[in-house]
Amino acid sequence: MSEKGDFFERVYRVARLIPEGRVTSYGAIARCIGDPRSARMVGWALNGCPEDVPAHRVVNRNGTLTGKHHFFGGMARALQEEGIKVEDDQIVNFQSVFWDPPKINLEE
DNA sequence: TGAGTGACTGTAA
DNA sequence: CTTACAGCCACTC
């Protein structure tokens, strides 16, 4: 076990668990999968995320849409479509829409 | 092999 | 949650 590709799969899995109208941070996902120091890799992993992964719901710890420049299409608009208020590439009331990812089965 | 870069985070002031 | 500094891991040249 412990393959390199597992890291990506875990990121995708957690990202898919994000409910609508909610967002999470890269560090939260990184910690969820057991690598809180690889937060940067989470963002890099989402760079090649499939379409079924709501990458637009993943932002940095400040609630800023840091990935907007890399996301295909209007990331801020997509968030607002789900009920998330965004202003100047920054999530409004970020703490209220923040979603803490549960610990998934790392061996599954 | 080593330096540079990046969708980051935590701590300090 | 502002700004500044350092640590972090993987990728590219």
pLDDT digits (tens, 9 = 90+) for A45-73: 999 889 999 999 999 999 999 999 888 88
Residue A106: pLDDT band (50, 70, 90) is confident
**Through-space separation of residue A76 CA and nucleotide B11 C1' in angstroms:** 30
Residue A2: pLDDT band (50, 70, 90) is very low
pTM for this structure? 0.91
| Mean pLDDT within A71-76 | 89
User: Distance between CA atoms of A104 and A4, rounded to whole angstroms?
Assistant: 17
**Mean pLDDT for chain A?**
90
| Mean pLDDT within A97-104 | 92
Closest nucleotide to A90's CA, by C1' atom?
C1
**Through-space separation of residue A101 CA and nucleotide B4 C1' in angstroms:** 33
Closest nucleotide to A91's CA, by C1' atom?
C1
Dmax over CA atoms of chain A, in Å, equals: 43
